[in-house]
Amino acid sequence: MHFGPYSLLLLAAAANGLLLAVLLLLPVGKHSGSAALAALVASIALRTAPYILGFAGAYDLHPALTFAPFDLTLAWGPLLWIYVTTLATGAPPLRRARHFAPAALQLAYQVVCFALPAATKWNWYGGDHLQIVEPLGAFLILASLGAYSIAAWRVYERWQRWLDENLSNREESRLGWLRIMLLGMAATGALGASMMVVHVAVRPLDYFARLPIIVMLAALTYLVGLLGFRFGRGAIAISLPSGAPAETPEARATVATKNYASQASAWRDQILATEWHHDSLLTLATLAASLGTSPRTLSRTLNEGLGQSFNGFINGLRVDDAVVRLRQPGAPDVLRVALDVGFASKASFNRAFKAHTGTTPTAVRDGKSAEFAAQFPPTTTLAASEATE
């Protein structure tokens, strides 16, 4: 065998992928869902093995290696979906084992074919396998990856919407890294589908013609493994509710005689007076308890009365307070203001401030935002208690 640049490049990627899979199972990288992610990274790395051996000439020297069971691509979709679901809910989905039945059949097919006598194996490989089984298998793999990627994306989006409605400092859990991971899997599937169309409808693709998808698999190994190892442990796992809880008669009576706008305004005044919005750990549930209502009623009142999510409403109050503080003579540094009004970090404060005002905290503090000053003239709308400080 001769390991040329192609085989060495893929070998390095596969080795690093397997190393990342191991790290994900050790205490240094273990987190909710790490077992599913480790299996996904390892199976992606393993998929490059036939091409490592092929570019090195191993199949020519040792044809018995044909059908060696390296391909577990029908497990990729379920593993991705299980990983995202586990992060979002704090627990893997029930009855998940049945989702691996297609992957088990895929593995069994390879094992049976691998055990065939050499002559029978070659005849099967060059005949019905290449003509029927491989195209059908590629279609099933892409269909599986597409369906499970869509399912994983829906879990991710539902998780993000729920966080918007329930956390005041949800900027800390935007999970952009998970979005990149999902898009990377989708892009790989799209490239694979394109190459399958060319292979079936235009001309058969040999090892070298398939190099783009194999290189992308090598890159995907790094992408999925590194992102999961770096950020997965810090992901906020909050159980998504299986259904909205029923409102109590007391909660329904809260808004029965008032319209949503007036009730939202009254609650806004109460929150400002008590400065509950300055609590960086404030959630929909804790605020609802303080107001004597249910989380569902509070969320609906904010949405119907103000057209805002819980997160947008609370951060708007915090930004309003921050504006007043920043425009006072001798205003403290931006980080101090951010923490004082309830933000958990300067980064989340900057994002929320920009979204609500169209400018930056520093520009407001230094009086450099003329457009902002014209739109929002100086005011002293802080709570009365602060005016005496």
Written as one string, the DSSP assignment of 256-299 is HTS-HHHHHHHHHHHHHHHTGGG-TT-BHHHHHHHHTS-HHHHH
Other beta carbons within 10 Å of 337: 24
Residue 23 and residue 40: Cα distance in Å, rounded? 13
Residue 236: its pLDDT value, please?
62
Distance CA 192, CA 177 (A): 23
Q: Name the pTM for this structure.
A: 0.80
Tokens 């109050």, residue? 317
The set of long-range contacts for 24-27, using a CB threshold of 8 Å and a minimum separation of 24, is 24/225, 24/228, 24/229, 24/232
Residue that the structure tokens 């804790």 belong to = 286
User: H helices of the chain, where?
Assistant: 5-25, 34-47, 49-55, 58-61, 76-89, 101-114, 118-124, 134-166, 176-197, 211-231, 249-256, 260-274, 284-291, 295-306, 310-326, 334-340, 346-357, 361-365, 370-375, 384-387
Query: How much is the pLDDT for 376?
Result: 52
Question: Per residue of the chain (389 residues), what is the pLDDT tens digit?
Answer: 666 787 888 888 899 999 999 999 998 888 889 999 999 999 999 999 999 988 888 888 888 899 999 999 999 999 999 999 998 888 899 999 999 999 999 999 999 999 999 889 989 998 999 889 988 999 999 999 999 999 999 999 998 888 888 888 876 677 889 999 999 999 999 999 998 888 888 888 887 888 889 989 999 998 999 999 988 887 765 656 654 444 445 445 444 445 889 999 999 999 999 999 999 889 999 999 999 999 989 999 999 999 998 999 999 999 999 999 988 887 788 899 999 999 988 888 998 899 888 888 888 888 765 555 545 554 433 333 333 33
